[in-house]
A = this chain, B = another copy of it.
Amino acid sequence: MAHTEESRQKLREICRVAARVFYEKGYDGASMQEIASAVGLTKAGLYHHVESKDHLLYEIMNYGMDILQEAVLDKVSQIADPLEKLRQTMIGHIDLIVRARDLEITVILHENRSLKGALRKKINARKRDYIRFLEDLIAAVQTQRGGPPRVAPQVAAFALLGMINWLYQWYQPDGAIKQEEIATQYADFFFRGLLGTS
């Protein structure tokens, strides 16, 4: 269908609901009929918006990457200092995982291997772009600091992603550790690890 603003909003709504169904039943355990019912559409109505279950999973992941782009990356794009830019990227990404706890994101984390072929390649390309963005920023921070780098940018980038993406496994919104505290402690921890300063 044509990508009018209205159809885009409808697709996003479908993605949010479908992500919840996939989350509860697993990608393989959920049927398109169940998802249609949960959205309040007929099965034919659902297929009007997405051509297959594969494409639906792809659209959810794509939506997750859109959220990262809009809520984090667009906001830091004007920051010139690489260290501050990286710190704000971390804090924004943590915010995304911890506060909103978008289930779509969790589905991205979990169901990546459910997606096959060309759609998987497209999503992986978007993920790789983000990883490269982090690696480049990390290398820029290391260059700015001077001296021999203490860790390969690629290893540091994946340490950062692991720290943040694992949050959903343990973070309790009503637990003892508050979100701002985690963001600050994580960012400080990361930069000490990266640069070796206290």
Q: Which residues on A are within 8 Å of B, measured CB to CB?
A: 23, 25-30, 110, 112-114, 150-152, 154-156, 158-159, 161-167, 169-170, 176-177, 181-182, 185-186, 188-190, 192-194, 196-198
A26:B27 contact, CB within 8 angstroms? yes
Q: Quick one: which of B113, B176, B197 contacts A198, CB cutoff 8 A?
A: B197
B182:A189 contact, CB within 8 angstroms? no
Copies of this chain, count: 2
B189:A156 contact, CB within 8 angstroms? yes
Chain B: minimal CB distance from A88 (Å): 19
A159:B189 contact, CB within 8 angstroms? yes
26 pairs, CB–CB < 8 Å, chain A vs chain B = A25-B28, A26-B114, A27-B28, A27-B29, A28-B29, A110-B110, A150-B188, A152-B177, A152-B181, A155-B189, A156-B189, A158-B166, A158-B169, A158-B170, A159-B186, A159-B189, A161-B169, A162-B162, A162-B163, A162-B166, A162-B167, A162-B169, A192-B192, A192-B193, A196-B197, A197-B198
Q: Can you name 17 extra interface pairs (CB under 8 A) apart from A162-B166, A190-B193?
A: A25-B28, A26-B27, A26-B28, A27-B28, A110-B110, A112-B169, A150-B189, A150-B192, A151-B189, A154-B176, A155-B177, A155-B181, A158-B170, A159-B189, A161-B169, A162-B162, A163-B163
